Each structure stands twice: as C-alpha cells, then as structure tokens.
Homo-oligomer: A and B are copies of this chain.
Amino acid sequence: MTRPGPITVALTHGAYVPGVGTIAVVIDQLRAGTTITMALTNGARRVIPVTSVDEALARRDSLRRENPGRRVLLGGERGGVLIPGFDLGNSPREYTRERVEDADIVFTTTNGTAALHAARSSPLVVVACLANLSAAAAVVDREPRPISIICAGTHGLVGLDDALVAGAMVRCLPDRPLAEDDAARLCLTWWDDAAEDIRNALASSLGGRGLIALNQHEDLEFCAQIDITSVVPRPMPDGSLVPA
C-alpha cells in the first residue's frame, strides 16, 4: 500500500504555496467557514462566496435574472454589522432551516474567499471547521494525495482560531506524516493544549477577541461545538460551495 501524502499547514492564505495535486482544506473558523457549513447543513442549495458588497449585489441580480423562481439571499458583514440591503449577517446561528432552506446564498467574506481563491488549482478543496471536523477529515483522508491545510487568517494576520482547527484536523489524520515545515506541529501543540476548553481558546484568538468586542459571545459558544454536522462544503468550478 502507498503511504498517504504528508500534511502541511499554511498559517495564513498568503503563506500557502500551491503544490501540484495537493488536496486543500480551507479553514475560516470565526465565522465564515462555520457559517457556510451551517447554511448548507440547514438546506441552502449553495453558497456563493464573493469578496465585495458590490459583487454580492451584482451576483444576486444576475442569479435572479437567470432563475426568476429561485430564492436568492445576501449574507455577510462589514465590521460585524449587517450590511444595508442584506438578508443575513455572518453569525452561523442566523442560518436556520427556516431562513435558508432551498435558497442560493451570496456571501461576502474577505479572508475566506481569498483562501478559497489560493486553493483554486487543487483537485479537491473542502471547507473545514470544528462543526464538521471528523466529516471533513474523512473526506480528505480517502485520497492518498498530500494535504495542505490553509488557514484563512485575518487580513494577512495569523489567528489562533484557525490554527486551533488546523491542529485538530492534523490530530484527526494520524496516519499522515507531517511535512518538513513545522507549522503543522505548532498547531498540533496548540490544539493539544487548548482542547480541554475550546470556548476559551477561541475567545483568546484574533477572531474571538473581535467577537467579544462585538458582544457576540453566543457565537463563540456555537463555534466551539465539534462534529455537529457531517456536511462538508466543497467548491464547484464556478466557485459556488455545495455539500461534498
């Protein structure tokens, strides 16, 4: 049997060096990755990640023209505040079945979209978060190719929140060797340290401190849950995310 390929972690999407034939696991734990995963879990047809508010509005309009009967919702935030004219913010708790079932969701996310863009040459890309941890690990572990875990980070900065999930994912793939780069080992020690109190670990992170400043403590609790869904978002060639 061939030995499965090694795991690398890029601590920001800018640090990711695309490898030929490498599987990409994109992590944006607080909150875009978790929100997209919950939207698809609760029956959204697909989530279309875009970078800007203008792009979101244009995409919504063209989707409505193409499919007049379809529900199209706009989701996302700027500085933690609902965007005027948008239907949903960036809290995974908003993406309930009542709100999102059967809808197309155009979703603005700066860091998550950039990380997905960085991964675009990979033959298999999945979005992983604590909510779908084991399911995402199972999807990528089916293939013997090398795995790159790409932390979205925040505007180029390293985030303990994404690093935590990267470490958890490495822990879920025990048969894989680690690549030479030590970023995966660093995330693993952080996860092993933090696993006892995930809520507090997330609270201490770049994204977590931002949520606390916005008084979004309930999102921290929500995002600290592990394996609450088996839905693993995967981008189609047009960039839209659907369940793998």
Contact = CB atoms under 8 A, between A and B. Distances in A.
A206 B181 contact: yes
Given A11-B158, A15-B15, A163 B190 contact: no
A227 to B, nearest CB: 24
Contacts of A205: 182, 185
Contacts of A17: 156
B189 A193 contact: yes
A180 B213 CA distance: 13
Interface in A186-207: 186-187, 189-190, 193-194, 204-206
Given A11-B11, A11-B158, A158-B11, A206 B190 contact: no
A163 to B, nearest CB: 6
A157 interface: yes
A180 B180 CA distance: 28
Contact of A163 (B12, B180, B182, B194): B182
Interface residues of A, number: 24
Interface in A1-57: 11-12, 15, 17
A185 B157 contact: no
Contacts of A180: 157, 206
A159 interface: yes
Contacts of A187: 186
A186 B164 CA distance: 10
Contacts of A189: 189-190, 193-194
A168 to B, nearest CB: 14
Closest CB pairs A-B (n = 7): A157-B181, A160-B182, A158-B183, A158-B182, A182-B206, A159-B182, A189-B190
Given A12-B15, A163-B186, A189-B189, 19 more contacts: A11-B158, A11-B186, A15-B15, A17-B156, A157-B180, A157-B181, A157-B183, A158-B183, A158-B186, A159-B182, A160-B186, A180-B206, A181-B206, A182-B206, A185-B204, A186-B187, A186-B190, A189-B193, A189-B194
